[in-house]
């Protein structure tokens, strides 16, 4: 937090957020600001390594010129750069940083050796040296886009099978008996990676003159999944003769994934707002909520709590926290679970 503390360093790792703007174009301001700051203090023989998720070309075409300008040093003579994408998964206690192979890249062979040595000192799984910085940048967005596209396919199938009164879970279990079937389940795609990163490569693609049709379609399906969930929930309530005007809806889970406190870009927020705007009484229960999020939700006229409310009549399952699953084991009231993965 104090720039004076890093002025004597010669290796810098920049891992700031890379969000998107309201129009879903890349917001590179945090990355640009960090590059300006580091550029103002680097000296001869410094190495600047970027870990933030970007589209191919950002390190070379945007960040490096800023470092040169601010430092008055010559790139690949006085200083060099590298790129090694962050791969850790929020909430994952098994696949921790030292157990995930690290992709590394650099602007020169000598710098690649140094960066490889640094990361291999803590990464037990080893490293993979990419042939260029652009390849490493592309590899990171490709990982997340592949997952986004495959989840979108499952989400689309789930909507279809639900309309046909077929259990998506049963279909997945049957299909996964083949060795090369990719076993994914339907869900709300939020968070700071899978729901954001595709827009970076889509932006680069469109600027380059190529239309990324599959990526576009996948993002549309996953972005609109919450709308389908709300419509399906209202149908469920009608089918079960539930008077939503007189029944409090307890939304179970708010974070973007189970068993973690990360609420970035959670799709549950959109669901809660849709139900609120429809005039229904709602309450969010999530044991992983922090006080700041609870206050922010209250300002948005959405009540929430870390403590499970009493006298629940209608449980709306959004996130499979272990606490939610434990509650469901002994609950006999109405349960709406859009995924129906537990055959509830």
- Residues marked active site are found at 193
Strand partners, 160: none
User: How many residues in total does the chain contain?
Assistant: 344
Residue entry with tokens 């157990």: 99
The token duo for 91 is 């909430």
Strand partners, 14: 50
Cα→Cα distances 280→77, 244, 302, 324, Å: 64, 6, 11, 22
Q: Give dist(CA 45, CA 67) in Å, integer.
A: 13
How far is CA 122 from its chain centroid? 25
The token duo for 234 is 């209202």
Contact 300, 273 (CB under 8 A): yes
Angle at 141 between CA 172 and CA 48, to 5 degrees: 145
CA nearest to 60, candidates 22, 106, 15: 106
Could you tell me whether strands 46-50 and 11-14 are parallel, antiparallel, or unpaired per DSSP bridges?
A: parallel
Q: Give dist(CA 198, CA 217) in Å, integer.
A: 11
Could you tell me whether strands 46-50 and 79-83 are parallel, antiparallel, or unpaired per DSSP bridges?
A: parallel
Enumerate residues 6+ apart whose C-beta is below 8 A from 4: none
Query: Half-sphere exposure (CA, 13 Å, Cβ side) for 163?
Result: 8
Q: Give dist(CA 275, CA 225) in Å, integer.
A: 15
Strand partners, 50: 14, 83
């Amino acid at each position: 937090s104090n720039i004076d503390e890093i002025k004597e360093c010669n290796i810098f790792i920049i891992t700031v957020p890379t969000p998107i703007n309201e129009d879903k174009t890349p917001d590179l301001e945090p990355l640009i600001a960090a590059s300006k700051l580091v550029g103002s203090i680097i000296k001869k023989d410094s190495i600047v390594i970027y870990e933030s998720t970007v589209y191919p070309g950002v390190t070379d075409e945007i960040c490096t010129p800023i470092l040169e300008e601010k430092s008055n040093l010559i790139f690949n003579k006085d200083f060099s750069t590298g790129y090694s994408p962050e791969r850790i998964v929020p909430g994952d206690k098994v696949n921790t940083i030292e157990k995930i192979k690290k992709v590394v890249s650099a602007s020169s062979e000598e710098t690649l050796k140094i960066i490889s040595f640094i990361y291999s000192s803590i990464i037990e799984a080893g490293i993979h040296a990419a042939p260029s910085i652009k390849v490493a940048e592309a590899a990171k967005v490709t990982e997340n886009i592949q997952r986004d596209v495959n989840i979108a396919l499952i989400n689309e199938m789930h909507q279809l099978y639900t309309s046909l009164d077929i259990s998506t879970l049963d279909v997945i279990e049957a299909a996964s008996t083949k060795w090369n079937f990719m076993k994914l389940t339907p869900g709300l795609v939020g968070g700071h990676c899978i729901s954001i990163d595709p827009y970076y490569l889509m932006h680069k693609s469109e600027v380059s003159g190529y239309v990324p049709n599959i990526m576009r379609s996948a993002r549309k399906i996953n972005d609109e999944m919450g709308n389908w969930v709300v419509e399906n929930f209202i149908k469920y309530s009608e089918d079960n003769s539930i008077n939503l005007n007189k029944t409090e809806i307890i939304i179970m889970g708010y974070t973007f994934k189970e068993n973690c406190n990360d609420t970035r870009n959670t799709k549950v927020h959109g669901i809660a707002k849709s139900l609120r705007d429809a005039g229904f009484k709602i309450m969010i229960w999530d044991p992983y909520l922090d006080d700041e999020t609870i206050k922010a939700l209250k300002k948005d006229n959405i009540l929430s709590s870390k403590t499970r409310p009493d006298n629940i009549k209608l449980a709306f399952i959004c996130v499979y926290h272990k606490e939610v699953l434990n509650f469901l084991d002994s609950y006999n009231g109405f349960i709406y679970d859009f995924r129906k993965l537990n055959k509830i």
